[in-house]
Amino acid sequence: MSGWTRKASTPDDSASEKSRDVNDSDEDSENHDNRAGDQRPNDVEKGNPPPSQPEESHLVVWDGPEDPNNPQNWPTARKCRITAVAAFMTFVASFGSSVFSTATEVTAKRFNVSNEVMILGVTLYLLGFAAGPFDWAPLSEAGYGRRTPLMIGFFGLMIFQLPVGLATNLETILICRFLQGAFGSSPLAIVAGMQVDMWDTVSRSVATIAYSAAVFAGPAMGPIIGE
């Protein structure tokens, strides 16, 4: 009589099967890691950045093209007034850079120093012009708007004019001249952005002319008026 006979499994056979399963699993994991490792350099070489977490968006949007809060929808008369005032503020700030040059000889004799030392009053003002925009430009873009940094800077320019006129020593003049330049640079750093906010690409050219004229007319008029 013929029949099928089943071989009984032994503990050694079960252990061998488990060992083969573990080895197969390790090989699959290693192959997967190798494939992933091969892909990463390729992604970097292709210029694909690694996946990152989504960041919160700070994009300003308007409630449709006719949103009255959009500066480009303001009445033309209002935009012209703002442009004129901003250009005048720029003129005053740049005017202050050179008007002091006419007083260098007088103040040098008063404080018994050379003319070269008193020229520092002009140099430090321009140094403040160079340092101030590093603060005013980011502030106008970081949620404070254009008006607040612009007004704070122009107010500081006026305040530090008083110690220069009433100073009884040279150090006060030089320090306050630097602070004048640092605060007075706010129109130079902010007004150009205001023009972009308010005017379209065609009308902006006229507004930019007023701003540019103020920037260059101020230093030119300073020595003339100062005499």
Tell me the CB-side half-sphere exposure of residue 103, using CA atoms within 13 A.
Answer: 17
In this prediction, residue 6 carries a pLDDT of 46
How confident is the chain (227 residues) per 10-residue block, as mean pLDDT?
46 50 52 49 50 58 78 90 92 91 89 90 93 90 86 94 90 94 93 89 87 90 83
In this prediction, residue 58 carries a pLDDT of 62
Q: How many beta carbons lie within 10 A of that of residue 121, not counting itself?
A: 22
In this prediction, residue 51 carries a pLDDT of 53
Closest CA to 85 of 150, 171, 161, 12: 150
Contact 121, 173 (CB under 8 A): yes
In this prediction, residue 131 carries a pLDDT of 93
**At 71, which amino acid appears?**
P
In this prediction, residue 49 carries a pLDDT of 54
Span 98-122, pLDDT tens digits: 989 888 888 999 999 998 899 999 9
Tell me the CB-side half-sphere exposure of residue 99, using CA atoms within 13 A.
Answer: 18
Beta strands per DSSP E along the chain:
none
Closest CA to 86 of 191, 197, 196, 198: 191
Contact 71, 86 (CB under 8 A): no
**Block residue for tokens 């503990």:** 11
